[in-house]
Amino acid sequence: MKAIVAEEYGTPDVLRLTEVEKPAPKDNEVLVKVHAASLNAYDWHMLTADIFLVRVGGRGLRRPKYPILGADIAGTVEAVGSRVTQFRPGDPVYGDCAGHGNGSFAEYTTLPESALAPKPANLSFAQAAAVPMAGVTALQGLRDVGQIRPGQRVLINGASGGVGTFAVQLAKWSGAEVTAVCSTRNVEQARTLGADYVIDYTAEDFTQSGQQYDLILAANGYHPLSSYKRALAPKGIYVMAGGAMAQIFGAVLLGGLMSIGGQKKMTNVSAKMNRADLEVLTGLLESEKVVPVIDRTYALSEVPDAMRYLGEGHARGKIVISISAPISGPAPRR
């Protein structure tokens, strides 16, 4: 089968399209024929090892332990192991390979049935592939870590990216008053997704405005933690879901210290994929309360170009990889 392989850490130039052995499912695994995948900041970290913990966290100290990258997946079940009970060949599914050795940038991959859910019936494979990691991160960041409640003032920083586009919609669905922060070209998109207010960060710094929010989810956490803390209301919660390396380490290492002795909480979300949360998203997607936003689509052979575009940091929504089937399909109405 064809797959995109990285035998070493580095830039997208180290990625190669090559033939590898088709995997076989273990007893508790599902073999999926991959129709579409999508890119996340996670994939960039896995490729470049720009977070040192990638190397020391079981992913390979000198070179990638799992050379086939890719987390998000949508496809059809090709075969199942003897202990699989939830799926059978031919079922359309979607899910996240991140906790199971990656592998979605390939024609076939295997993963436990617990990492998959039935594909939303109204979505194409491309649209479904755009959901898992970003959608679950936004859901868990707002609901579990941010403890979002109806009527709260919620700000989404980085509202135009993968996590941010889902977070705006999920916050609005949760009954919050939503402020989205994005660049000029994405203002109308944020409004279309349901934001009550939109701040163009090229014209205004929300951390200096004097406005305060009950919950801030930073999909792009580029401000210092002290600035985010200033923009929180009493008993407010800041949740870092992505950003520059300095901000990621700051939130992980210093957030707890900055929360001590005060009512404001500074923390981060590290999403944990599970079928239950995928099924929550499925319900919202099928009822068209949440819509995946896709910026560009690339072929499997073009993954290096897709990764370069991801690395520029200006994607509007998700970047999708078309692998083994046409990925056009019904577009959800709003």
pLDDT of residue 329: 41
Kindly state the tokens that stand for 302.
Answer: 């073009």
Name residues of the chain where pLDDT drops below 50. 56, 326-334
Strand-pairing partners, residue 16, are: 5
pLDDT the model gives residue 270 = 85
Q: Are 99 and 80 in contact (CB under 8 A)?
A: no
Residue 140's φ and ψ, nearest 5 degrees, are -70, -35
Would you identify the CATH topology of the domain 2-131+292-322?
Answer: Quinone Oxidoreductase; Chain A, domain 1 (3.90.180)
Phi, psi of 72 (to 5 degrees): -70, 140
CA 36 to chain centre: 15
Confidence at residue 333, expressed as pLDDT on a 0 to 100 scale: 34
Q: Tell me if residue 77 falls in helix, strand or coil.
A: strand
Comparing C-alpha atoms, which of 216, 220, 247 is closest to residue 233?
A: 216
Residue owning tokens 């929504």: 317
Pick from 86, 100, 117, 103: which is nearest to 34 by CA? 103
3-state helix, strand, coil in the chain (%, to 5): 35, 25, 40
The CATH homologous superfamily for domain 133-268 is NAD(P)-binding Rossmann-like Domain (3.40.50.720)
CA-based max dimension of the chain: 59
pTM for the whole thing? 0.91
- Cβ pair 327, 35 in contact under 8 A: yes
Q: Where are the domains of the chain?
A: 2-131+292-322, 133-268
Cβ atoms 159, 168 nearer than 8 A: yes
* DSSP assigned state of 51: S
Task: Give residue-wise pLDDT tens across range 234-290.
Answer: 999 999 997 655 555 555 555 555 555 568 999 989 888 889 999 999 999 999 999
CA–CA separation, 122 vs 313, rounded Å? Answer: 29
3-state class of 235 per DSSP? strand
What pLDDT is attached to residue 326? 47
pLDDT at 255: 53
Edge-to-edge strands, sheet with 153-157 = 197-200, 177-182, 153-157, 213-218, 232-240, 265-268
For 3, the 3-state DSSP assignment is strand
The pLDDT, as a whole number, for residue 59 is 59
Q: What integer pLDDT is reported at residue 286 of this predicted model?
A: 98
